[in-house]
């Protein structure tokens, strides 16, 4: 068969979003899912599995028929799990998940034991790697049906308010677009909690200094010009792509599969650094972080105590949301879920507000586990997002 273009692949994945939203609503309402939606997901899975597989990954094409190899593990496996769930039900899915992850049932038990029958004042959770499996590309990291159903049940039964706090963009290929759970079940926030959609769907954001915003706008315009040059489009399509967030812009220079020749990737990285220097010659406004895959251009913030400029972190996000959304986190136990060091600041912020905070971290890394335990000795750890999500679903019926 003719190979698929990368943009056509994104089209296929985006077409599953409305289908999955309807299926999720149907299951939550205890209706039998309409067969048409399930058939659409099956066709999508078949289309993805028909993409030629080579040692470097599935082969798609870019402009001018240049090949690009991508790992479609997330997209394919989440569709398979959805089909197990939709065709054969929840017990069959849990069986499937237990077969995929060693220690799955023990992890589910451990979370259930820790959460007990608590009804939480607020759930604040990271998304990717925590309550959603990792995907190499944000733009195709569509939430699966089983995931949306499980999380929504917990949000409705066990928490007064539930917030998804991510560093990803909020919309324009952001969290709100990839989310399949029903409107209002979760407050979707982006950019480490600096922007969110309120329960009526209105955008709200952390105040930002006008001079800083003007600099960021200028930087974004210059970056758009660079990316419009021939041959640069690839950086918007691989990995994290171009993500314009509140107070931060991310541009991919590589993806996990190493789709871009390393020399080309390095050269592009240098071009972006030069561009930032031209906009901000004295390093007053921005700091660049190079993850090896992404270049993150961050606006620095003044410390609340008037201290040195630093980056806005997810703990700042929790404090902002607690005030702006009137979460009243101080008035009851809260639950914090994360999977990386950047999520620890959410736990600290929650503990400052609500000493009864509980935490689940999805990590096998001893160092991170220790950091979390130092803050909260009773924190519980699991190895996979699926275990946390299944446990949340299980406890929503207590």
Residues within the interface to Mg ion (CB under 5 A): 126, 128-129, 339
Cβ closest to Mg ion, residue 129 vs residue 184: 129
Residue spans of beta strands (DSSP E) within the chain: 53-54, 57-61, 67-70, 120-125, 159-165, 187-190, 195-197, 203-205, 242-245, 248-252, 286-290, 294-301, 310-311, 334-338, 358-362, 380-382
Q: Chain centroid to CA 183: how far?
A: 17
Give the number of C-alpha atoms closer than 13 A to the C-alpha of residue 198, restricted to the C-beta side.
13
Asked whether the beta carbons of 188 and 194 are under 8 A apart, the reply is: no
Indicate the residue among 269 and 338 with the shorter CB distance to Mg ion. 338
Two tokens, residue 25 = 């609503």
- Residues 6+ positions from 109 with CB-CB distance below 8 Å: 391
- Cβ at position 267, least distance to Mg ion in Å: 29
Please name every residue paired with 310 in a beta bridge, in sequence order, or none if there are none: 301
Q: Least distance in Å: CB of 283 to Mg ion?
A: 28
* Least CB distance to Mg ion at residue 385 (A): 9
Which tokens is 156 given? 């409705």
CA angle 248–123–16, rounded 5-degree value: 65
Q: Least CB distance from residue 251 to Mg ion, whole Å?
A: 19
Minimum Å distance from CB 259 to Mg ion?
22
Residues pairing with 195 in the sheet: 190, 205
- The least distance separating Mg ion from the CB of residue 133, rounded to whole angstroms, comes to 11
Q: Which is nearer to Mg ion, 234 or 368 (CB)?
A: 368
- Comparison of 253 and 314: residue with beta carbon closer to Mg ion: 314
Nearer to Mg ion, 314 or 319 (CB): 314
Measured from each CB, the residue nearest to Mg ion is: 129
Please, what is the minimum distance in Å from the beta carbon of residue 51 to Mg ion?
27
Half-sphere exposure of 237 (CA within 13 A, CB side): 22
Name the residue nearer to Mg ion (CB basis): 325 or 368.
368
Write the CB contacts of 292 (distance below 8 Å, at least 6 apart in sequence).
Answer: 254
**C-beta closer to Mg ion: residue 159 or 175:** 175
């Amino acid at each position: 068969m003719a190979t698929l273009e990368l943009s056509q692949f994104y089209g296929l994945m985006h077409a599953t979003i409305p289908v999955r939203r309807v299926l999720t609503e149907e299951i939550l309402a205890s209706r039998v899912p309409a067969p048409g939606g399930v058939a659409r997901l099956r066709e999508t899975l078949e289309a993805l599995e028909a993409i030629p597989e080579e040692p470097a990954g599935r082969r798609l094409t870019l402009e001018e028929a240049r090949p690009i190899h991508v790992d479609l593990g997330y997209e394919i496996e989440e569709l398979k799990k959805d089909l197990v769930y939709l065709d054969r039900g929840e017990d069959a899915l849990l069986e499937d998940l237990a077969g995929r992850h060693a220690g799955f049932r023990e992890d589910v038990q451990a979370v259930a034991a820790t959460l007990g029958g608590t009804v939480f004042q607020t759930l604040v959770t990271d998304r990717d790697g925590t309550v959603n499996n990792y995907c190499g590309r944000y733009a195709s990291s569509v939430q699966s049906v089983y995931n949306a159903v499980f999380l929504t049940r917990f949000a409705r039964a066990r928490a007064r308010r539930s917030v998804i706090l991510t560093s990803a963009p909020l919309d324009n290929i952001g969290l709100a677009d990839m989310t399949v759970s029903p409107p209002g079940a979760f407050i979707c926030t982006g950019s480490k909690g600096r922007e969110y959609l309120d329960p009526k769907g209105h955008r709200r954001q952390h105040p930002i200094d006008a001079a800083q915003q003007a600099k960021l706008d200028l930087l974004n315009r210059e970056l758009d010009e660079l990316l419009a040059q021939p041959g640069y489009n690839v950086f918007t399509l691989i990995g994290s792509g171009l993500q314009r967030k509140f107070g931060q812009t991310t541009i991919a220079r590589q993806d996990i599969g190493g789709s871009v020749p390393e020399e080309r990737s390095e050269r592009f990285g240098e071009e972006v650094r030069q561009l930032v220097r031209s906009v901000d010659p004295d390093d007053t406004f921005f700091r660049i972080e190079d993850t090896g895959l992404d270049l993150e251009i961050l606006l620095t913030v003044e410390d609340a105590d008037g201290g040195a400029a630093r980056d806005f972190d997810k703990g700042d996000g929790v404090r902002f949301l607690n005030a702006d959304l009137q979460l009243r986190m101080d008035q009851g136990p809260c639950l914090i879920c994360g999977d990386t060091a950047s999520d620890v600041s959410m736990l600290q912020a929650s503990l400052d507000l609500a000493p009864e905070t509980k935490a689940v971290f999805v990590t096998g890394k001893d160092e991170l586990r220790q950091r979390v335990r130092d803050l909260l000795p009773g924190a519980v750890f699991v190895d996979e997002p699926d275990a946390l999500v299944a446990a949340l679903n299980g406890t929503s019926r207590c």
